[in-house]
Each structure stands twice: as C-alpha cells, then as structure tokens.
Amino acid sequence: MLTIEPAEMQHLVETLGAIGEQPGGGIIRHVYDAAWSAARRQLMAWMQEAGLVVREDAVGNLFGRIEGDSPRTILTGSHVDTVILGGRYDGALGVLSALAALRALKRSGARPRKSLEMVALCEEEDSRFHGNFWGTRAMLGLVRQEELDDLTDLDGVTIGEAMRQAGFAPENYPSAIRDDLDAFIELHIEQGRILYDEHQPLGVVDAITGFYRFRVTVEGRTDHAGTTPMDLRRDALQAAVEFSSEMTRIVSEAGRPAVVTNGWWDVQPGAWNIVPGHVEFSVDFRHTNEATKQRLAAEIRARGEAIAKERGVGIAYDLAGDILPMDMDAHVKAELQAAAEACRVPWKPMVSGAGHDSQIMATKVPTGMLFVPSADGRSHSAAEFTTPEDAARGATVLVAALQRLAY
C-alpha cells in the first residue's frame, strides 16, 4: 500500500497557499490573473519534477499524465482558483492530493493498465466571471462560442480578452474537449461540519445537491406603527416572517439532506415607527433528489401563497435558479469505498450540499467524490483548515482508488 504522509500534504498546502495570499490573510486567485498563473507554474514544476507528462489545454486546465497501456484515462483533481479572500483548501486540496497520489504512483514504477492524469481545473468559483464551471465545461464541449465575449469581469474585461492576456488563444476552446475519460475523482474539503463534528476522517459522496432558488416579494401596506391597531394591519414583514418560519419547518421536517436558507432580507421602508409595506427575501433550497426537491419546492410555494391570502398581502416569486441534483457513479463510488476499507480509513456516505465541478463532469463521465473534514465546517474563508493527518488519509485513499481503477 502506498501511503501519503501528513508532512508532504502540509508542505504542498503551505507552498501553494502562499500564492495569491493577501497581506491581511485570505487568498485571491482568480482565473487568468497573475496569482493563478503563478500557482499553475508551481504545479507544473512539481509535476515535471515528478516525471509526469505536463500539458495545458486551450482554456487553461493543467494536466500531469502517467501513460498506461490504454489511452483511456482515469482523471483526478479539482480547481485551482479561489473565491475572494478564500482559504488554502477549497479546490487546492483536491489538486494537491492528485499530485501527491500521481507522484507516489509514478515513484512506484509500475505501468498502469489505463492512463492516469491529474488536473488543476482553471475555474470553478465564479468569482471573476460567471464562468459557471468554465474549465470542466470546456472539457465536456459545453462552452458556447458567444460566452467568450459575453462573460465579463467587474472591469468589463471579457473572458476571451482575459484568456489572451494570460497567453491562451480563446478561439481554440473546442480543442479542450476530452472523449478519453473513463472516470473522474475529485477530493474536496467537506465545507460543512458533519465529518468534523462526528470525528470522521472521510466521506464518500452519494450525490451532489440540486438547487431551487427564488426571491420572495411581499407587498403589504405601510402604516403608522402607533395608530394602526394590530387587527387592521397588512404587515408585509409579519407575512414574510411566517413564510420564512413555515418553509424552515417544512424543510426541517423533511430531514437531511434538505436545507433551506433565507440569507438576504430587504425590509422597506425600514423605519422603527412604520409598519413595513414591502419585504423581499431570498430562498436557497437544496435537495439531492430531484423529485423530492420539486415536491418540497411546490409545497413551499403553495404555503407562501396561502399565508399571503390569509393575511391579505401580495406575494410574488422570482426564480433565480433550478439546478438538477447529480448522483455519483455507482461503480466509481464502490471503488472509493473499497479503497477506504483497504486503507482502514473509516468513511461515511455523504451528500454534497455545495456545488462542485464533479456535478458537471458527472453528466458525461463516471464520477466520484471524496470529502475530508473541514475544521469547524469553515469554508470560503482564510480560516479554512484540514489537519495534515486528515489530508494525508484522504490522499492515501485516493491513491488506492486510482490503483483499483487504473492498474
């Protein structure tokens, strides 16, 4: 059994994590920017040093390959870009685990049956362009020509211009398409607190959640807070509060993995002494089963309409997203579980409540995901942390899984 050591993972995480790190803490590494390019140069150096065949595609996905008997390829990795002031682990740990795994396998000297590749995907976080899994989509032929001009950053730079400035030829994007992939495995931090709270070292993902997102607008009547008796009010806030509370009850009663969040509120006119006449708030509802997702979303919507009717206020919904959940491939998942057993690493079946490249990859390639613990559930923050021991256990299971799939 090939074992990855905690010290190796710690060194990799610290080295890559210093690239794009800001003076006050937190990393900014956006697709096609200088820190992103520097991070890729570091990865290239590591891969070359390990004897991997290094290649980048037309959109900037970076690969390191071990040629096997067959050109059919087992791919592993994650994304190298970060959110604004992100941490060292989200995405990066999947790339670095892939690196550690492939260089261990290369060192072992055995030639694989299938070819093996690691990948640093160029864009996942949507934090410079609304690229929406740009790197993965390019590999699957899901990028549309017009996106090169239509996707712009806050400075008005198009993604095509940004690619050219970073040394890529945007018009070549179709050459990024891959049809040689037999499997994709992504190791990622959980970004939640389940493994951490339960002291479990590993999760094997069953499914990635689907989203149903909409904005609720409640129209009541603005009234004087002193002179309008409670029984004569059409208080938009109280209707919104009841709706928020009810949808939370519905989703809580449905049990895991259903989640709903009302994270954004706008209460107007927003004065202490005026009954609110207009309230908007966001609904972010997620479930890994599409039928259940649609049933609960319909139940939530109907409950809101009933509350509005009872209270004599108006209600409107603006759909902001309805994204399908994605099951992981049964065979890949079984190999990940078997690899964990073989390595004697306890594992837990999990769902991913966050979106990942894997959910796009899974539309065309048999895909599986491994989760490692996030300390205190933190993510998208400089405070992200996974212990070197947990990182090493995850990478060791990844090596074992790659052996099972490619050797």
- Site membership for a copy of itself, residue 383 (CB under 8 A): no
Cα distance between residue 252 and residue 318, in whole Å: 23
Kindly identify the residues of this chain, within the stretch 277-296, that bind a copy of itself according to CB under 8 A.
282, 284, 286
- In this chain, which stretch among 13-21, 41-49, 63-71, 273-281 interacts with a copy of itself, using CB under 8 A? 273-281
Scan residues 57-96 and list those touching a copy of itself (CB under 8 A): none
Nearest CB to a copy of itself, comparing residues 71 and 273: 273
Q: Which of residues 185-244 bind a copy of itself (CB under 8 A)?
A: 190-194, 197, 209, 213, 223-232, 235, 237-238, 241-242, 244
Note whether 185 and 402 are within 8 A (CB).
yes
Q: Smallest distance from the beta carbon of 173 to a copy of itself, in angstroms? A: 28
Contact between 23 and a copy of itself by CB under 8 A: the answer reads no
In DSSP notation, 176-232 reads G----EEEEEEEEE-SSSHHHHHT--EEEEEEEPEEEEEEEEEE---EETTTS-GGG
Q: Which of 1, 49, 272, 291 binds a copy of itself (CB under 8 A)?
A: 272
Kind and range of the H or E element at 238? Answer: helix 236-254
Nearer to a copy of itself, 127 or 396 (CB): 127
Encoded amino acid at 369, one letter? M
Hey, what amino acid is at 243?
A: F
262 binds a copy of itself (CB under 8 A): yes
Q: What is the length of the chain?
A: 407
Task: Please tell me the distance from the alpha carbon of residue 304 to that of residue 205, in angstroms, as a whole number.
Answer: 33
Token output for 287: 């479930």
Pairing mode, if any, of strands 274-275 and 223-224? antiparallel
> Minimum CB separation from a copy of itself for residue 267, in Å?
4
Q: In the complex, which residues of this chain contact a copy of itself (CB under 8 A)?
A: 190-194, 197, 209, 213, 223-232, 235, 237-238, 241-242, 244-245, 248, 251-252, 256-265, 267, 269-276, 282, 284, 286, 320, 352-355, 377, 379-380
